[in-house]
Amino acid sequence: MRTDYDAAVLGAGVAGSSLAAMLAARGWVTALMDRQRFPKHKVCGEFLSPESQHILSAMGLRETVQSLEPHRISRIALYLAGGGQVELPLPGTALGVSRYRLDAALHRHAVAEGAFLLQGGTVTAVVPYEHGYILHVRQGRESTEITARAVVAAWGAGGQGRILGRHDHRVDDGSWRKRRSGSAHERGAIGVKSHFAWSAGASSPSDAVELYFFPGGYLGINGIECGHYNMAALLDSEDIPRSHSTVEGMLMEAVSRNPALHSRMVDAQPVHGTESAVAPVHISKHPVPWSVIPHIGDAIGRIPPLCGDGMSMGLRSAQLCAADAHRYLAGEWTYEQWRIAYTQAIYSQFSGPLRWGKVVEGMLRHPAASRLLPGLARLSPRLACKFVEATRLRPG
């Protein structure tokens, strides 16, 4: 295995894979590293916003995504906890496609551009040295070291910052079962997802992403490939009865809490093997674009899942980072110039969506506010659309 690289991208999710592809396409010897093995199912609403498609097109990936046979989505339907309903058009067509297919397609693209995909190895430490960084990688009982001139954190929202500068730190293994036994604060929220199918004729394919709110969380449903639907929920972990220890059990508990959702799920069957869960899920107030090394995607900050914009933020940050990393690797910029330019770009583009995402999530989950919202949206559809727009990235 090669052990020296120009760039190492730590995490092969949407953000990391796209960055690795862009760096490799510019001629840099790039490692794309992940502790997981792919393809795999991942907690996500699997809703590719209209914004993310502009970025995928700019990366030359439009046809690749279309070849995954995504489901087309043009509306958003909100079913509030008080029983009210709000429908809004999306600012463009969104796509529903599973992360199982999407991530694998992004990996193939990165490899085709020349990146080295290293799966199944956990990066346990990132140690600076005179020519860049030494990465400590653990695979089973084996430990290896690789070096890279530039390293980018694309490791998601798991709070992996402890890896930086700590030679011996053992990283979180992401076990959601273990997390459920921690303190209330540590537990945060739990994200769960599963694919579902309806028996033929029971549910016509919908062009809406449906969001259902209930005490203790919310749940989204949208069509994906193969006529299946993805169902993803964010649940306050203190609110879930301990008896519900499976993903299906937690989803069914959520279903029982919103009557509209309960009726919707009549005749729905889970697609076994597609379930996954993640915890704790903490939502970010401010972006953190740089801490020792540049961060991209959820490593910068997590927007409330109901905004359906996490993947586009991952793609946008990868785009910004690729251009700046190239200047650094080519010797046009110092490390400090890269840090300043990238940090400023992320603050200016991400601060608004993160702040407004939290505001909108708070309103939709608040019992009193959610009772007023259907009337307000009918009175002023433009105002409702403005709120949605405030959570979106501006065109790049």
CA 332 to chain centre: 32
To ligand FAD, the closest distance from the beta carbon of 94 in angstroms equals 9
Annotate the chain with three-state secondary structure: CCCEEEEEEECCCHHHHHHHHHHHHCCCCEEEEECCCCCCCCCCCCEECHHHHHHHHHCCCHHHHHCCCCEEEEEEEEECCCCCEEEEEEEEEEEECCHHHHHHHHHHHHHHHCCEEEECCEEEEEEEECCEEEEEEEECCEEEEEEEEEEEECCCCCCHHHHECCCCCCCCCCCHHHHCCCCHHHHCEEEEEEEEEECCCCCCCCCEEEEEEECCEEEEEEECHHHCEEEEEEEEHHHCCCCCCCHHHHHHHHHCCCHHHHHHCCCEEECCCCCEEEEEECCCCCCCCEECEEECHHHCCCCCHHHCCHHHHHHHHHHHHHHHHHHHHCCCCCHHHHHHHHHHHHHHHHHHHHHHHHHHHHHHHCHHHHHHHHHHHHHCHHHHHHHHHHCCCCCC
Cα 37 from chain centre:
17
CB atoms within 10 A of CB 218: 26
CB of 315 to ligand FAD, least distance (A): 9
What type of residue is 105?
A: A
192 vs 333, beta carbon nearer ligand FAD: 192
Nearer to ligand FAD, 25 or 154 (CB): 154
Q: How far is the CB of 147 from ligand FAD (least distance, A)?
A: 16
* Number of residues written out for the chain: 396
For ligand FAD, give the closer residue by CB, 172 or 371.
172
Measured from the CB atom, is 36 or 343 closer to ligand FAD? 36
Q: Least CB distance from residue 379 to ligand FAD, whole Å?
A: 28
Toward ligand FAD, which CB reaches closer, 233 or 265?
A: 233
Q: Tell me whether residue 80 or residue 250 sits nearer to ligand FAD (CB atom).
A: 250
For the CB of residue 201, give the shortest distance to ligand FAD in the complex, in Å: 27
Q: State the minimum distance, in angstroms, from the CB of residue 34 to ligand FAD.
A: 4
We find the least distance from the C-beta atom of residue 265 to ligand FAD, in angstroms, to be: 18
Beta carbon nearer to ligand FAD, 140 or 331: 140
Interface contacts to ligand FAD, rule CB under 6 A? 10-16, 33-36, 43-47, 49, 122-123, 154-156, 158, 160, 163, 171, 191, 232, 234, 278, 281, 297-298, 305, 308-312, 314
CB of 306 to ligand FAD, least distance (A): 8
CB-nearer residue toward ligand FAD: 355 or 371: 355
Rank residues 138 and 149 by Cβ distance to ligand FAD and give the closer one: 138
Distance set, CA 27 to CA 5, 22, 176, 284 (Å): 11, 9, 39, 34
Q: Minimal distance in Å, beta carbon 118 to ligand FAD?
A: 9
Closer residue to ligand FAD (CB): 132 or 304: 304
Q: CB of residue 392 vs ligand FAD: minimum separation in angstroms?
A: 11
